[in-house]
Amino acid sequence: MSQPKQPLEEIVGALLAEHQLTLALAESCTGGLITHRLTNVPGSSAYVIVSVIAYAYQAKVAALGVTWDTLNAHGAVSPETASEMARGARERFDASLGLAVTGIAGPGGGTPDKPVGLTYIALADTETVRIEKFIWRGDRLQNKEQSADAALELVRHYLVARKRNS
């Protein structure tokens, strides 16, 4: 009989706690799903500082410090916006890491240049911002779930690499 697989949010939480790091989240297309998963883990208040669900341009600007110039030039779903969201969440809430997700969950809202499923995930620390691009092929819920999984994987990879280098 095989052991059940440990949920990704538990793995990420244990790594954050081990490194004594905190996380500020900026979620758009996932609508709080990443935060929901992380805060289902007992003890998550030790590392989850804040979650901002910033759907509208105004929310991205007011809550996260994304610039109007960035939004007007690149749109909400862009690596530039994801980067500013992650950096803004980390800086404004004095967290060790900022994690941001912005995308087009669907079923509408896509264009030829930015299809449904397009998602950018950014992870900011004090020095760098890592950005990943995905194009999911599922329905709205599947796209949100895949985005949440990919965001947690990005944090996990970052923390595992940090552990190896320490």
Q: In tens digits, what is the pLDDT along the chain, a chain of 166 residues?
A: 566 689 999 999 999 999 999 999 999 999 999 999 999 999 999 999 999 999 999 999 999 999 999 999 999 999 999 999 999 999 999 999 999 999 999 999 999 999 999 999 999 999 999 999 999 999 999 999 999 999 999 999 999 998 788 7
Q: Is position 120 within any domain? A: yes
Q: Is position 146 within any domain? A: no
Question: How many domains in the chain?
Answer: 1
Q: Is position 2 within any domain? A: no
48 alpha carbon, distance to own chain's centre: 12
Range of the domain at 118: 8-139+152-165
Q: Where are the alpha helices (DSSP H) in the chain?
A: 8-19, 33-39, 57-64, 68-74, 79-92, 140-165
pLDDT of residue 165: 82
pLDDT of residue 166: 72
Q: Is position 1 within any domain? A: no
Q: Is position 145 within any domain? A: no
pLDDT of residue 3: 61
Q: Is position 123 within any domain? A: yes
CATH number at residue 92: 3.90.950.20
Distances (CA, A) of 156 to 16, 30, 71: 9, 18, 29
Q: Is position 158 within any domain? A: yes
